[in-house]
Structure 1
Amino acid sequence: MSQATSSIALITGGNRGLGKNAALALAAQGVDVILTYRNNGDEAQSVVAGIQAQGRKAVALQLDVGVVASFPGFVEQLRDALDRHWQRGHFNYLFNNAGTGLHAMFHETTEADFDELVNVHFKGVFFLTQALLPLIADGGRILNVSSGLARFSLPGSSAYACVKGAVEVLTRYLAKELGSRGIAVNTLAPGAIATDFRDAAVRNNPELQKMIAAQTALGRVGEADDIGGLVATLFSSSTGWVNAQRIEASGGMFI
């Protein structure tokens, strides 16, 4: 795929974890990448360098997906980046990946905890996608991140799982309303993955890993590499007829 005709993916939270892995996997398939980061610009630039090393174009833009008021300014930055680096006004794929974690029992969850989760994982996804609609090419794709926790229940994840459940409902409505533009919208629900997420709670806890492995058909904890390649596949031409679906990638957890 030439640079002139390459597809472009926008990945929120692309500086680490699943977002980083997806960015590199997409680049390996010939896709250019615009990634966002909230705080760590150095991490983001490292990912940009990794994408460029594969011969693709990449740009990192700062964005806090939990602050809806910042979205108009971000859209203008995005328009400028598309024009300067690609000489076009549209991108093809949106991966709503950015997020924060919370482990708190129902009776311990504060209103502030709840509001942050809603702002980042649901309100942010809703209104950022809305703001980006004029820049998403017809025939494009949107992929929203949910969680295995929206299907099975583990104590301490009630608020987090609830907002992910809301994202799954939103996905179906987006698929219905954007179908006239040929835009397919799906949900990707990872299981427990050993990344930096929630202060590397899974990666740094051998006992938790042992428990997860015992409850997973494939007998281990997930890795970022288990997810990034799937994102690239869901954005490939071979999966264009997959729409309004919840795709769980958990290795068969709690089945």
Structure 2
Amino acid sequence: MNVAVITGGSRGIGAHTALECARRGMGVILTYHQNPTAAEAVVERIASGGGKALALPLDVGDAKAFPAFAATVREVLHTVWNQDSLAGLVNNAGYGSFNLIESVEEAQFDGLFNVHLKGPFFLTQRLLPLLARGASIVNLTSATTRAAFPGVAPYAAFKGGLEVLTRYMAKEFGERGIRVNAVSPGPIHTELGGGLTPDFEAQLAAQTALGRVGEPGEVAKVIAMLLSDDASWINAQSIDVSGGYII
């Protein structure tokens, strides 16, 4: 069974990705930061459908925790799946923060940087020895990297950095046949940044060609596809999954 690590898998796009991957026959190691109950609920849903999943705690903003996490992943691969490698990694964990540049505090800046750029960089580095030849990595970026929206400058800047990092990962990991792509969601019904108010949702829908805000499951299907052999010749790409947001 192919096994993938999905960070931030207790809710939103991460949870739906875990469920979709399991539906397609993959084993799932999902991570959570502050909500073990929600993470276990995802694991139970996967188990009830005949799949196999495990939830592990991880603060993606704390790179010092990555060596111990990688050791745990190696251990559960052996004990739960009787194998020694990963087929996929989804760098999804994140959070939103809304402040104009003039009011962003250094601690807020550093927090977003640690989770959205530094974390994926060093977590991927740490898990790289566990990734099998031909594995797939998917980095979650954002439509805010191409459509500027006041109040999210640090978040968008680090997501933009992750988009560039995606191409460099693809270049450097290509010798091992590891594909690396980015998925860039537009407005989605998630809890990121506190969720969407009705007025804000209507505004976003009006800026989207399909006239609505997307659902987490619609992004999850694209991520799961990129992890599969269906995407065997897709590499170093940033795929916009936004229903035509600001085109």
TM-score > 0.5 by shorter chain? yes
Match of 1:145 in 2: 140
Aligned equivalent of 1:216, options 193, 208, 213? 208
Q: SS state of the match for residue 95, structure 1?
A: strand
* 1:242 has 2:234 as partner: yes
Cα shift at 1:189: 0.4
Give the aligned partner of residue 3 of structure 1: none
1:14 aligns with 2:6: no
Matched, 1:253 2:245: yes
Which residue in the other structure is 2:117 paired with?
Answer: 122
1:37-186 aligned within 5 A: 37-186=32-181
- The worse-fitting range, judged by mean Cα deviation, of 222-231 and 186-195 is 222-231
Q: 1:104-158 deviations in whole A, cap 9, x for unaligned? A: 1010111111000110000000000000000011100000010000011011111
Report the AA paired with residue 220 of structure 2: G
For the residue of structure 1 that corresponds to 2:181, the secondary structure is strand
Partners of 1:178 and 1:236 lie apart in 2 by 17
SS of residue paired to 1:92: strand
Partner of 2:23: 28
Deviating above 2 A after TM superposition, structure 1's stretches of 4 or more consecutive aligned residues are none
- How many residues end up aligned between the 2 structures? 247
Mapped partners of 1:80, 1:236: distance in 2:
24
When normalised by structure 2's length, the TM-score is 0.99
Q: Give the Å deviation of 1:89.
A: 1.2
CA distance in 1, matches of 2:110, 2:3: 32
Unaligned runs of 5+ in 2: none
Give the Cα–Cα distance (whole angstroms) in 2 for the partners of residues 77 and 39 of structure 1: 18
The aligned amino acid for 1:219 is: G
Provide the secondary structure at the position in 2 that maps to 1:140: strand
Q: CA RMSD in A?
A: 0.7
Using the size of structure 1 for normalisation, the TM-score is 0.96
Residues 150-186 of structure 1 show CA distances to partners (whole Å, capped at 9, x for unaligned) of: 0110111111100000001100000000000000000
